[in-house]
């Protein structure tokens, strides 16, 4: 078991106090992180007391502590899951070799790039969400937003720890750059596209946490298989926090759907009641799920093949022994691709299809979430459903990029796509309507009219508890 040092300037279980150089480097990054938080983190709520969960260790059960804290005083710490003794690389070309505790020289650039890409998404999401505090539908939701934000901040710390510890001067430079890029900035954008899209409303936020944080789960899970042990242990612990982010999304969209379904059941028009028609919810689901499909990269990818071969990035749950061939050699993957206006089947080596496999696992997970929402609609007696769009729909990366597919995955003429896209994706009018509903509700026990209250609160408290004490 690792020793947790909670009294240090940077709480950690990595023995920082025994590595003075590293400690000094991280302690000099810390004020820059705080400047970044003040400049681009949540606006205006930094003096309020928020009831937040803070990671304090990695043991099962007791890993988190709840209390009121002002966000800039949050104790962002560095925690790695405990090491597994004699851990072996369990996939790719290095199958069976001892896992690495240092960066293998020939993998240095690739590994740094994966870590930087992962790290870049964390602050990006905080930047995207910075204005949402002004329009929260309830105090409960306001707290959830800030919980997600501070933990994404901790995820940035997790990647910066790796950069500082294992990548020398270039790692320190990358850690600085992580604080300099800005979501949506024309000159210094964030690396991946979904992290440059504005999150304007709470409908966007709940869809983002459902679909985009869930990409986080799958990417982190594949990195948790890594032969580079510090990366595996860091990402494994990040997954613990990730569950709450996805739950915030799934429950948030679910509560919007529940409210709409309840009104429909009463024979009311959701729009006339200041709620969200199912068609609009569907369009937001289409927009954020397809944007998140792009985060898996191309379906046919030599980068992915090389990361797998090198033992850096495994398949989902690779370590559970569910794949017959841990080297993924001598097997192929069938991919339907558009060519000259119709679909043709191609066969690619399995290793090149690693992104496609991860996307498949992700899409199956998303389908389970959508099914749950639909079960609720059915229980309410509403004869309508939400559907998850095909992984071909509205893509900008990979073999379906910039091709006119319907949400059900049918290739159509470009003119038809242009004509029909407002049926499938939020139009300006839809966005305006949704934005018009976003009014803050900060009275205890009250909630906005377009969303149902949650079934339960946080840490065994009721949902209408005082999760935020305004200064
Ligand atoms: N946007 O070989 P390809 C999270 C680039 S979310 C822009 O097809 P590859 C979180 C790619 O870099 C999880 N560019 O794909 C959620 C490459 O560039 P070069 C984040 C893109 O490389 C919510 C080229 O296109 N973690 O944690 O196998 C809140 C061809 O790429 C995009 C990770 O992503 C895109 N969407 O895979 C907070 C894990 N997609 O080489 C946090 C680390 C691809 O031609 N990253 N490109 O210059 C990776 O594993 C991989 O980099 C990717 C891409 C999966 C992103
Ligand atoms: Fe994260
Ligand atoms: Fe997250």
CA atoms within 13 A on the CB side of 192: 26
Q: Which of 44, 148, 46, 48 is nearest to 466 (CA)?
A: 48
pLDDT in tens, 126-148: 999 999 999 999 999 999 999 99
Alpha helices in 224-321 (DSSP H): 229-265, 278-293, 302-309
CA of 262 to the centre of ligand 1 (A): 40
pLDDT in tens, 337-385: 999 889 999 999 999 999 999 999 999 999 999 999 999 999 999 999 9
CA of 296 to the centre of ligand 1 (A): 6
CA quadruple 173, 57, 195, 434: dihedral, nearest 10: -150
Contact indicator for 315, 357 with CB cutoff of 8 Å: yes
Q: Which residues have any ligand 1 atom within 6 Å of their CB?
A: 114, 117-118, 121-122, 125, 152, 192-193, 212-213, 215-216, 219, 294-298, 301, 303-304, 313, 355, 397
Q: Which of 377, 394, 395 is nearest to 385 (CA)?
A: 377
pLDDT in tens, 412-444: 999 999 999 999 999 999 999 999 999 999 999
- Name the residue at shortest CA distance from atom 16 of ligand 1: 213
Q: Which ligand is nearest to the CA of 211?
A: 1
- Is the pLDDT score of 204 beyond 70? yes
Of ligand 1's listed atoms, the one at least distance from the Cα of 191 is 7
Cβ atoms within 10 A of the Cβ of 456, count? 12
- Is the pLDDT score of 62 beyond 80? no
- Is the pLDDT score of 1 beyond 80? no
Q: Which of 36, 70, 76, 37 is nearest to 56 (CA)?
A: 76
CA quadruple 437, 443, 446, 451: dihedral, nearest 10: 30
Cα dist from 373 to 24, 157, 250, 269, 367, whole Å? 49, 34, 8, 20, 10
Q: Which ligand is nearest to the CA of 158?
A: 2
Query: Residue 321: pLDDT band by 50, 70, 90 thresholds?
Result: confident
pLDDT in tens, 14-29: 999 999 999 999 999 9
Mean pLDDT of the chain: 97
* Cα separation, 155 vs 168, whole angstroms: 20
pLDDT in tens, 163-187: 999 999 999 999 999 999 999 999 9
Global pTM?
0.98
pLDDT (0 to 100) of residue 275: 98
* Cα separation, 303 vs 275, whole angstroms: 44
CA of 216 to the centre of ligand 3 (A): 6
CA of 25 to the centre of ligand 3 (A): 26
Of ligand 1's listed atoms, the one at least distance from the Cα of 218 is 13
The mean pLDDT value for 47-62 works out to 90
- Is the pLDDT score of 279 beyond 70? yes
Site to probe by mutation for ligand 1, drawn from 153, 155, 297 as the one with most ligand atoms within 8 Å of Cβ, is 297
CA of 437 to the centre of ligand 1 (A): 34
Question: For the chain, which residues make up each domain, given as ranges?
Answer: 16-469
- Classified as helix, coil or strand, 334 is strand
* Cα separation, 164 vs 470, whole angstroms: 37
pLDDT (0 to 100) of residue 2: 75
Q: Which ligand is nearest to the CA of 307?
A: 1
Q: Which of 206, 210, 207, 184 is nearest to 195 (CA)?
A: 184
- Is the pLDDT score of 60 beyond 80? no
The distance between the two most distant Cα atoms of the chain, rounded to a whole number of Å, is: 67
CATH superfamily of 16-469: Ribonucleotide Reductase, subunit A (1.10.620.20)
């Amino acid at each position: 078991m690792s020793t947790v040092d909670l009294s240090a300037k940077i709480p950690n279980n990595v023995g920082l106090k025994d590595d003075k150089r590293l400690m000094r480097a991280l302690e000099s990054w810390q004020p820059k992180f705080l400047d970044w938080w003040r400049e681009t983190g949540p606006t205006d709520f930094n003096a309020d007391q928020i009831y937040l969960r803070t990671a304090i260790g990695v043991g099962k059960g007791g890993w988190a502590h709840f209390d009121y804290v002002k966000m800039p005083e949050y104790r962002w710490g560095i925690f790695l899951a405990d090491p597994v003794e004699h851990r072996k690389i369990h996939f790719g070309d290095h199958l069976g070799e001892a896992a690495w505790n240092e960066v293998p020289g020939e993998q240095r650039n690739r590994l740094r790039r994966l870590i930087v890409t992962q790290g870049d998404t964390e602050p990006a999401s905080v930047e995207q969400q910075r204005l949402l505090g002004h329009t929260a539908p309830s105090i409960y939701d306001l707290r959830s937003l800030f919980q997600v934000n501070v933990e994404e901040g901790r995820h940035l710390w997790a990647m910066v720890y790796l950069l500082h510890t294992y990548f020398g001067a270039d790692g320190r430079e990358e850690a600085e750059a992580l604080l300099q890029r800005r979501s949506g900035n024309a000159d210094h954008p964030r690396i991946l596209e979904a992290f440059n899209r504005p999150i304007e409303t709470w409908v966007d936020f709940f869809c983002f946490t459902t679909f985009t944080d869930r990409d986080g789960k799958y990417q982190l899970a594949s990195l948790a298989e890594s032969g580079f042990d510090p990366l595996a242990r860091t990402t494994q612990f990040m997954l613990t926090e990730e569950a709450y982010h996805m739950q915030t999304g799934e429950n948030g969209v679910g509560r919007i759907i529940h409210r709409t379904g309840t009104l429909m059941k009463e024979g009311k028009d959701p729009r006339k009641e200041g709620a969200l028609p199912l068609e609009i919810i569907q369009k937001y689901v289409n927009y954020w799920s397809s944007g998140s499909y792009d985060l898996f990269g191309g379906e046919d990818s030599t980068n992915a093949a090389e990361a797998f071969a090198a033992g850096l990035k495994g398949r989902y749950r690779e370590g559970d022994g569910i794949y017959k061939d841990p080297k993924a050699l001598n097997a192929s993957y069938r991919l339907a691709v558009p060519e000259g206006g119709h679909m043709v089947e191609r066969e690619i080596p399995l290793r090149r299809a690693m992104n496609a496999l991860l996307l498949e696992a992700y899409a199956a997970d998303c389908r389970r979430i959508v099914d749950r929402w639909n079960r609720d609609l059915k229980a309410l007696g509403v004869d309508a459903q939400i559907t998850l769009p095909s992984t071909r729909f509205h893509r900008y990366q990979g073999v379906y990029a910039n091709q006119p597919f319907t949400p059900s995955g049918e290739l159509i003429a470009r003119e038809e796509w242009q004509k029909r896209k407002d049926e499938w994706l939020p139009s300006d009018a839809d966005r305006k309507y949704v934005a018009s509903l976003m009014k803050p509700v900060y009275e205890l026990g009250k909630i906005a009219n377009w969303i149902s209250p949650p079934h339960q609160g946080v840490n065994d408290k009721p949902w209408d508890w005082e999760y935020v004490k305004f200064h």
